[in-house]
Every structure is written in structure tokens, then in C-alpha cells.
Amino acid sequence: MKLLHTKSVFVLFFLLTSIIITRAQTNEASGKVIITSLGKRTYVRINEKGELLINVPEKDARRWKSRGWVYYNDFNARGDGQTDDLNAIAAAHAFANQHGLSVKANEDATYYIGGKERTVIIQTDTDFGTAAFIIDDTEVQNRNAPVFMVSSTLQPFKIESISSLKKNQEKINIPLPAACLITVTDSNIKRYIRFGLNPTNGASQTDIFVVDKNGNVDMHAPIIWDFDQITEITALPIDETNLTITGGRFTTIANKAESKYNYYARNLAIRRSNVVVNRLEHRITGEGDHGAPYGGFINISDCSHVTVKNTILTGHKTYSTIGRADKPVSMGTYDISVNRALNVSFVNCSQTNDINDNTYWGIMGSNYSKNLLYDSCVFSRFDAHMGVANATIRNSTMGHMGINAIGSGTLIVENSTIRGRNLVNLRPDYGSTWQGEFIIRNCVFIPAGGSAISASLIGGAYSGLHDFGYTCYMPQRITIENLQINDSAHPEDYKGPAIFSNFNPDMKDATYQEKFPYVKTKEVILRNVTTSSGKDIRVSDNLFMFRDVKVDQKKNP
């Protein structure tokens, strides 16, 4: 009798302590997860509240812990390409997160993921291997809920003791538990007041930077604004170890929603620093004559040091809608999105569709980011919307949408082939601004992919009549070395490639007054720039606008 009582007390204690509730760090859409260790069978269920109930008997838990990883079929994933396996996949990761185990997809399985609202939280190394994943977006409960989210176990916290910051400030005077990612906002100041077919009233001034535990700012990604007042500032401790995501053959069955700016976020969202994605593939099927745009299958935000390598992605079909100016506009839609992120690299990556096919939108978009890198990539576009601080493109080929950027710092393009309309296009909708310099070397420029256009190296437009929320700059210095311009396919009246396009055709003489003056380039250094047409390079069609630019040109003998 005494033995029976002891056993009963133990069972009661075990029941009370083995029920563990976990919740996604940054995404409530994943719902509550309850893990128990009861009975003799592993199962996954959904209760009446929509909570994910996971039961793992101790014998299974011991076996998996000893092995070091869990498989999806350990949680009854079918992998037959028809049964919706989302709950089983979410359960495998929830259990792995709790016990620090890796996760592996079953070799050659095909996992179907329907439109139900549940986000799989990844906090440990994951090997998708050769498995296929079908993500069906034809009927989705919540288009804003990621399918997978890579998140940190570390928790963000607010900082109360800092009331202001200065541009290029080297240190913040607070102790921190570890190196942290700092995000700061001043909602009283609006930047990036967009001009054109999709005008906006701007976005609150924001910045993101890394500090060590002593508060020293990483000056490779400096603070880019003065913050005389701060409305919000948070710190997220940075994970010290890498988390790796490997393999996986993903196919999105595209949504058939109305062609409006209702972005779909059915993706792999990365919200943790120090992440490596390797050998992933993403394809798209089912695109028709209409659909809503996508916010990036690989969506990187609020993190630092993320590398995507040996990965194949796909450009989305371009759909049009009526923009904010009540005129038709093509909607941006992306397979790569980088927002409020630092030190993000794409290495040896490509896309499945033709990078020169303009029926597909450019594959990448970014905002508020620093130190972006393409290395050995073949993509239709590099793009920085609301600013990038420092970007490098090397050993790469850019397709029909080329290089589009606004921002600051240094833009380096080297050992690359550019097939856009310009070598670099400074986005007019955000003021064609770059406060810093361009360095371009050992490149080939094929204007508009070989179409008959009058080539210009630096494109953009600026009227001086719109307030973008900041002073607009052209690169102070542009250095171009060893550039081959393949301009043999040109119109009859072609005068030769221009360094600058005609940024403002109305600025013909000194009578034109800019309400918001443009700070123009001071110096262009040209070394061994050659043309297929045999025509000499010239400054611009608008000689008045660029009359003060110093051009230092030399050709190799």
C-alpha cells in the first residue's frame, strides 16, 4: 500500500511537471503549443481552442534525445504529398526546440502544407534534405502568417535610459547582457516620403545597429541618423552560435487573390541572428492572369549575420493594379526580402526563370538594411527601397532590372555583368539619393540586355520640387575601372554612352530653381572604360545640370 501511494504521488508530480507550454517568440499566429509525456503513444492533436497538443512518451523522448534529432514522421507526418502535414511538422520543431535537438525531414518525402494558420517555429538546426514541400496558397486563412519562422530563444527588451542618439555615434552608455541588435525609432520625423505612382506620407525615422555588451557600436554598420528624440528603442541579444537550415525543395502553389497590394507572407521568415541557409530550392507554380504579390519566400528581418548560399529561387509573375495615384502600376513581388537587417549575404545563388524576362518582377527588395552582399549570384535584380548602408555585388550577373539603390556608404560592383537599363539606377521614387561613393571595377555593362537604347551608366531622376524627408545626394565620388560597355545595338541618333542620364530635363539653365537642392557628384574617375560602338563616353545629355562635375578619364595605352 505504501508503494502504491508513492507511485501515485510520483505520477501526479510527473503530470503536473511534464505539461510544458511554449509560445512563439515573435509570432502569435503560431498559436499555443502544449507538450505532455503521457501514455505509450506519440500523437499530435488540435484542441477546441486551436492549440497544438503534442504527447511524447518518455521512451520515445529518451530514444530521440540519444539520437540527437527528430524526424517529421516521428510525429506522424505522412509525407505523401496529399495529407496536410503542417501540424506534424510544427510538433517536431516544438519538441526539438524544447530539448535542443536537430530536426530532419524524411528522405524523399513530399510534405503538403495547406492554408491553415500555423507557423512552424525553428530554433535548432534543421535539415530538409531531399524532401519536397508543397505550400498551397490557393485557400489561406491568414496570408500574413509565415509557414516557417527561424527565431531566437533570447528575448528582446526595451531600453529606457537613452533619450537621444547621434549619427556615427560610437558608443551607447548602457551595460548590456551580451552583444545586442538595437532598433530605434523616432515617430515624430518622417523619412522616405515616396514620390510617383505610389506616393506615401513617409515612414518614421528608424535605424538598426549592433553593439557589444559594453555598448560599443559596430562602426561597419554605423548609426545613420540623428535621433534628437526617441519614441522607441529595443535591444535583442544576439545568438552566439550559428543555426543552419539545409536543403529542401519547396514549391509554392500561387494564390489566386485579387491583384491588390495584399502581400502574402507564406514563407521562411528569419528573425534570428547568425543563420546559414544552404542548398534550399524554391519554385512557383499555378500563376495565372491575376494574383496578389509576395513579400519574399526568404524573408530576413530584425537580425544580423545571415548567409544564404547555394540556393535556387524563383521570380514571381508581375501583376498590375491601381496605385495610390489612381493610375495603373506594376506591383513589386519578391522571392527575397531583407528588412531591418545587417550583414546579409547571398553567395552562389540563382533563380529558375530567365533573369532577362521582364514578365517576372525583380527577385529582391530591401529596406533599412546595412552591409548587403551578392557574391557569385545570377539574379534579375538587386534593390534597396528605403535605404541601404553599404552594399557589394561581385562575381555576379544582374538581369533586366539591374541594380537599383538609394542609401549611403559605399556601393561596390566588381567582376560582374549588368544587363539593366543603367549600370546603377538611383531610384527616383525615393529621391535618387546616395550619400557616399560608388566603386565599379572589372565589369561588363550590356544596356537593357542588348536592346537599342541610348546607354547611360548612372540613372535616376530628381526635380528638386518634392520633399523626400531628407537632403538628396548623388555619390560624392564615382570610380569606374576596367568597364566594357557592350553598346553595339544602339539607335541611329546615338551619341555614345553618358555617365549620367538626364535627371531633370527641365533644368536647362540657371533660371530653374530647386526647392530642395540636389547635392551632385563632385568627381568621376574613369580608367579604361571601353565601348563596343567605338563612341566616346560623355557626361550627360544635360550638360548644364552636371556642369560642375570633375571627370578624370584615362584609357590604357
| Chain centroid to CA 42 | 38
85-115 pLDDT tens trace: 999 999 999 999 999 999 999 999 999 999 9
Q: For the chain, what is the domain count? A: 4
Task: Give the domain range for residue 527.
Answer: 406-557
For 219, other C-beta atoms within 10 Å of its C-beta total 12
Q: Do 369 and 293 lie in a common domain?
A: yes
Q: Do 230 and 301 lie in a common domain?
A: no
pTM of the model: 0.93
In 3D space, the residue among 557, 539, 541 whose CA is nearest the CA of residue 549 turns out to be: 539
Distance, in Å, from the CA atom of 15 to the CA atom of 5, rounded to the nearest integer, reads 15
Does residue 145 fall inside a structural domain? no
Does residue 146 fall inside a structural domain? no
Q: What is the pLDDT of residue 506?
A: 97
Distance, in Å, from the CA atom of 128 to the CA atom of 269, rounded to the nearest integer, reads 15
328-348 pLDDT tens trace: 999 999 999 999 999 999 999
Q: What is the pLDDT of residue 8?
A: 38
Per-residue pLDDT at 14 exceeds 50: no
Decide which of 174, 202, 237 is a domain's last residue.
237
Backbone angles phi, psi at 311, to 5 degrees: -120, 145
Question: Where does the pLDDT of residue 7 fall: very low under 50, low under 70, confident under 90, or very high at 90 and above?
Answer: very low
Q: Do 127 and 180 lie in a common domain?
A: no
Segment 480-498 shows an average pLDDT of: 94
How far is the CA of 328 from the CAs of 150, 198, 263, 462, in angstroms?
36, 10, 18, 22
Q: Do 415 and 534 lie in a common domain?
A: yes
Distance, in Å, from the CA atom of 341 to the CA atom of 68, rounded to the nearest integer, reads 31
Decide which of 211, 237, 263 is a domain's last residue.
237
Does residue 97 fall inside a structural domain? yes
Arithmetic mean of pLDDT over the chain: 93
Q: Per the structure block, which three cell numbers stand in for 445?
A: 555593362
Q: DSSP string spanning 162-213?
A: ---B-TT--B-----SS-EEEEEEEEEEEE----SSS----EEEEEEEEE-T
Distance, in Å, from the CA atom of 119 to the CA atom of 108, rounded to the nearest integer, reads 23
Distance, in Å, from the CA atom of 20 to the CA atom of 33, rounded to the nearest integer, reads 8
